[in-house]
Structure 1
Amino acid sequence: MSSNHAAAPYYFVPGPSKWPMLAGLSLLVTMIGASAWVNDAAWGPYVNYVGLAGIIAVLYFWFGDAIGESEKGLYSERIDHAYRWSMSWFIFSEVMFFGAFFGALFYARSISMPWLGDLDHKLIWPDFAPHWGGTGPAGTVQEFTTMTPFWIPTINTGLLLLSGVTLTISHHALRAGHRAMTALFLFATIVLGAVFMGFQVYEYIHAYSALNLKLTSGIYGATFYMLTGFHGFHVTMGAIMLSVILYRVLKGHFTPEHHFGFEGAAWYWHFVDVVWLGLYVVVYWL
């Protein structure tokens, strides 16, 4: 946000918009295609792709309208506060999202495992061993090797921590009015995020081929891929957000006083960093 608050209206109310309706329609098409795809319908993937393309197009034009309104000076300080609260609640919803997966991991490892391994349940699965990982009762899960923190997860932790530092430096540079430094360190943050994702792709390939760790590898495989996979998706979305912000920085959209677009993306990126620290500890170390 780079608009002049003093010149903006008391509270900007946008006119009627077609984007909410088109977003809902695109989501409907996407889910119809996905449902058909998982049920082996030949047309499912194509409909799914059409829906996804529609969602991307709607987001592009919808966010473009919001940026245009900001650049025209239509956003007052009240709109700035509204955006801040909206982003705060969005991040809170993401906290709850990951909290559900962390809770499932805790329940499976700390409650279900000991409970299924006690004396009473030996009558059901005599060969079951209450330890994290393994082959499962009576060989129901193919043998696999659990993940360790060395070395890719540890390297990725360093990359994300460093990206938080570069992003903070970029923010301070923006507040000081140094656009070139802002862009340089913001670009470095995006590169670090891309390298992180490259390492995670390599880790997945190694886990699947060398360790035989799959989504079907019991509760361990399911929770590992769900937690790290959703986090990787959030890193990708964060990198896209920062790329848009970098483009806006180069276009001169932000000022040292008004730049919530930058701050909102930075909040999201720091949140992703914190989630990874939790994943690094509970998934790779415990």
Structure 2
Amino acid sequence: MPPVETILTPTGLRDWPLPVPEGDKSSRGRVLVIGGARTAPGAVMLAGQAALRVGAGVLTLAVAQSVAGPVAAAVPESAVLWLPETASGSVAGGSVEVIQRALGSAAAILIGPGLDDVDETAELITGLVSAAPQDLPIVLDAYAIGALGQLPRHVLTALRGRLVLTPNHTELERLLAAAGEQSGGADSGNADSGNADSDNADSAASDSDAADDPQRRLAEHYEAVLSSDNRIVTPAGNRWLAPAGHSGLGTSGSGDVLAGALVGLLARGVELGQAACWATYLHAAAGDRLAARVGSLGFLARELLDQLPLVLTELQA
């Protein structure tokens, strides 16, 4: 029988409280958001501001050098790193040297908002994973999710256990295709154990459950927490659903706000599954608040930012 899907409610979240912030801004965590190609600098700004809105203490945005100045002016609360870029304005895959110093002090990083070249992004992730501390939580969004299928096996291995993915429906389908290709070359297990029949039966049941739940399949394959379409799944098979939210959240930049809220909570020291649940619920409930005031369609992703601390305060009251 597959694990029961837990419905996220205000009462349930209050019974699963976030760590109480103490001390100065550094004690609430340093967030590093990497993205912002020339064509989409707004995505990284939305994500970074969302991280601050859920209580992260210090923000650094790493963006293409041609837009770094405007980004710094638009988000004065953030430090800004100027990344090398390609002729087309994409963030160059060899930008790790510029980012490396910030990696050492970061409590959590988000890669993807506003990136626009899968090949350059795959190179960038490969370099970042090699340079980052081994226990640093990493959130992948947008083009960074699309680059997963191109990452070397040793990079995927290094990401296991500390990775959160926030795919939309299209990205989820691409992830499933990429995971199928990567699984095809995997080594088969050893069937010479004395408990082989039992192990095989358990494995078959697990495979059947995963086949019925694509998100669980991906969570197991990448050993990552997934948040997609208001559902959260962990590699262990834990599943939650945020019943809030509506189609109005399907608007440009909305996913950047979700990913930013998630990395902000991770920076505060929240574990991966809890951070994904709280961020997903906050994002959905913020959309509900706007729907009541503005309408179910037509509000802007940046308007979600002002709602996040209000919903957070209500949940923690």
- The interval holding the TM-score normalised by the smaller chain is under 0.3
The TM-score with structure 2 as length reference comes to 0.25
| Greater strand share, structure number | 2
The TM-score with structure 1 as length reference comes to 0.26
